[in-house]
Every structure is written in C-alpha cells, then in structure tokens.
C-alpha cells in the first residue's frame, strides 16, 4: 500500500484524533505541515477547495474529514481495530455525537481564555471559516455557558467510564476514544491537564493518560512539494457508484460537495464513487494530474452542476 500522508498542523484537535488513531494502530505515516489559515496553496491542488484540517492522502486518493479518514485507515490497516466487531454502528454514532456536540463548546472553553493572543489574519480567517465574527469579547463572555455545556456533555463520557472500564467501549481503545481525545487534548494543550471542567471529571483525566500513552505511531516529515509529487506519480484506486443509491446520482455526473457546517467551500468534479459511507469525485489539477477526492456522506451537501 502507498504511504499514508497526513496534511495537518500540530495544534489541530481534529488532527490529533487521527494522530492518536495512528498511534492506536502503531502505523508508520508521513506528515506534511500545513498552514492553520488560508491560503493553503500546496493543499488546494489535492483537495480542489476543501480547506479543513486534517486531510489524508494515499497516493492520488485524497480523504476529507476525519469521519472518513478514520474509516479508510481502518480499511487499510485493520489491526488493531478501531471498530470492535458487532459494535461498528454504536462506536461510529458515539463518535458523531462527540464530533458534532462536544467539540464546539470545548473549543469555546479554550478560545474564551486565549482569543486575545491571535493576530488579525487568524481572526479574519476564522470569521470566514465559521460564518461568525471572531470576537474575543463575545468569546470571553460565553465562558460560563460553554463550560457548562462541555461539563454536561463530558459527564456522559465520565458515566460510561464509571464502571472502571479502561476505555469508552470497554477494555480496548476504539474510534470513540480517538474522538473523545480530540476535545480533551485540546483543553489540556492550551489550559493544562486538569483545567476546568476536567478538574471535576477524574475518570476522563485518568483515561486521557492512557490515551496519551498510545502515542502517534511512526511519523516521518516530508514537504508539501514531495506530497504533490507522490500524488502526480500515482493513480487513484478504483471506485464504484451504487446505481441504486437513494440520491439518484449516477456515475459520471458533474457534482459539487461541501461541508454543511464550517469551511463551506464546494469541491467540483465527476462522480466516480458512491456508497452509504462516502462520495468520491474525480478531478484534475496541473500540479497533481488526476486525483480522486473522497468525502463522507453525513454532514456534506451534494449538488448537481
């Protein structure tokens, strides 16, 4: 299999969800450091516009969003597994709940306390990214609310751990642990290991030490230009379109795909892959040749062109 290449930056919590997953799988991978704001001139040739962090590249296949990145890692590196047998739906549902519900208030807890440190370029970028003005005064004022929300939601995970199990689903770490580690790690990185509300959540604090011990796998740094050359030299893996997909979409149609929440930049191309889990489009760029960009279905808006 061609190497896993992760395009990411050190302080990205969604990137940490993948990095800790690579640790769980004890995987060897290549790392490309990308800017944390636009422009991202060496990422756009690969994604065609998708700008979020992280992005995974395997040869000429580009995987957007950690929901799909983790599924693809599981498919390519099945052991040790993220998705315990018979509990795949449950673990993915818990992961969605964490990604979509806990991440935002947890980021609010951090931002309300560090927002003043960011420069104008970051504030402008994040205003565009989220569709809401990056306003440090508003963020500071929101601290009590976002801390309450984070505490209430983390408490559900604390309850899952209350029978003494080592990880969210039991004795072994799973995708749900990688997802929970994202907001916990982000708070710990910025505010300290037992910053509020983690100071009231002893089981999550102890669990986070077990997660940290998984490490990040075997990482090798490469340049963005090397990654583009790898894409150019490779061919995308074969894909197929489910002709009976409820959307009615057909192979070869020109479509655009974009996230439904933040960073809403549409990526256009030709439909080459479709299943319940993913939608894949072929595109061409002078710097990388033919690539296929893959997105999850949940949380993405598809339009015919």
Ligand X SMILES: N[C@@H](CCC(=O)N[C@@H](CS)C(=O)NCC(=O)O)C(=O)O
Q: How do 254-259 and 267-274 pair as beta strands?
A: antiparallel
**Nearer to ligand X by C-beta: 53 or 150?**
53
Q: Is 97 in the site for ligand X (CB under 6 A)?
A: no
Q: Is 36 in the site for ligand X (CB under 6 A)?
A: yes
- x/- contact string, 184-223, with ligand X (CB under 6 A)? ----------------------------------------
The rounded radius of gyration (Å) of the Cα atoms in the chain is: 19
Q: What is the phi/psi pair of residue 304, to 5°?
A: -85, 145
> Do the beta carbons of residue 277 and residue 69 sit within 8 Å?
no
Q: Measuring CA to CA, which residue among 200, 175, 172 is closest to residue 187?
A: 200
- x/- contact string, 37-76, with ligand X (CB under 6 A)? x-------------xxx-----------xxx---------
User: Cβ of residue 185: shortest distance to ligand X, in angstroms?
Assistant: 11
**Nearer to ligand X by C-beta: 67 or 216?**
67
Q: Is 21 in the site for ligand X (CB under 6 A)?
A: no
**Nearer to ligand X by C-beta: 126 or 147?**
126
User: Cβ of residue 51: shortest distance to ligand X, in angstroms?
Assistant: 5
Q: Supply 294's token pair.
A: 């893959």
- Secondary structure E strands in the chain: 4-8, 28-33, 55-58, 61-64, 218-221, 254-259, 267-274, 278-285, 289-296, 300-304
User: Cβ of residue 72: shortest distance to ligand X, in angstroms?
Assistant: 12
Cα 1 from chain centre: 22
Q: Which of residues 113-132 bind ligand X (CB under 6 A)?
A: 129
Q: Measuring CA to CA, which residue among 43, 26, 18 is closest to residue 288?
A: 43
Provide the 8-state DSSP code for 249. -
Cis ω for the linkage preceding 144 (within 30 of 0): no
Q: Is 92 in the site for ligand X (CB under 6 A)?
A: no
**Nearer to ligand X by C-beta: 81 or 104?**
104
- x/- contact string, 224-263, with ligand X (CB under 6 A)? --------------------------------------xx
> Do the beta carbons of residue 204 and residue 154 sit within 8 Å?
yes
| Contacting positions for ligand X (CB under 6 A) | 12-14, 36-37, 51-53, 65-67, 99, 129, 262-263
């Amino acid at each position: 299999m061609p190497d896993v290449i992760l395009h990411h930056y050190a302080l990205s919590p969604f990137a940490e969800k993948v990095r800790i997953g690579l640790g769980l799988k004890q995987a060897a991978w290549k790392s490309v450091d990308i800017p944390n704001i636009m422009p991202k001139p060496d990422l756009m040739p690969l994604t065609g516009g998708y700008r979020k962090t992280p992005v995974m590249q395997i040869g000429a296949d580009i995987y957007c969003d950690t929901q799909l990145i983790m599924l693809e890692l599981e498919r390519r590196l099945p052991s040790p597994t993220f998705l315990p047998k018979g509990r795949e739906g449950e673990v993915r549902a818990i992961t969605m709940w964490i990604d979509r519900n806990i991440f935002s208030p947890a980021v609010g807890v951090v931002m309300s306390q560090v927002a003043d440190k960011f420069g104008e370029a970051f504030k402008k970028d994040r205003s565009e990214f989220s569709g809401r003005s990056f306003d440090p005064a508003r963020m500071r004022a929101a601290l009590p609310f976002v801390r309450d929300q984070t505490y209430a939601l983390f408490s559900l995970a604390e309850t899952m751990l209350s029978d003494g199990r080592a990880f969210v689903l039991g004795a072994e770490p799973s995708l749900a642990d990688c997802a929970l580690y994202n907001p916990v790690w982000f708070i710990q990185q910025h505010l300290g290991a037992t910053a509020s509300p983690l100071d009231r959540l002893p089981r999550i604090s102890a669990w986070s030490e077990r997660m940290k011990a998984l490490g990040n796998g075997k990482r090798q740094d490469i340049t963005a230009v090397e990654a583009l050359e790898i894409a150019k030299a490779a061919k995308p893996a074969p894909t197929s379109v489910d002709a009976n997909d409820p959307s009615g979409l057909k192979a070869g149609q020109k479509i655009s795909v974009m996230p439904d929440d933040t960073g809403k930049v549409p990526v256009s191309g030709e439909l080459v892959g479709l299943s319940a889990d993913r939608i894949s489009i072929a595109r061409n760029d002078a710097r990388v040749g033919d690539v296929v960009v893959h997105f999850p279905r949940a949380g993405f808006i598809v339009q015919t062109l």
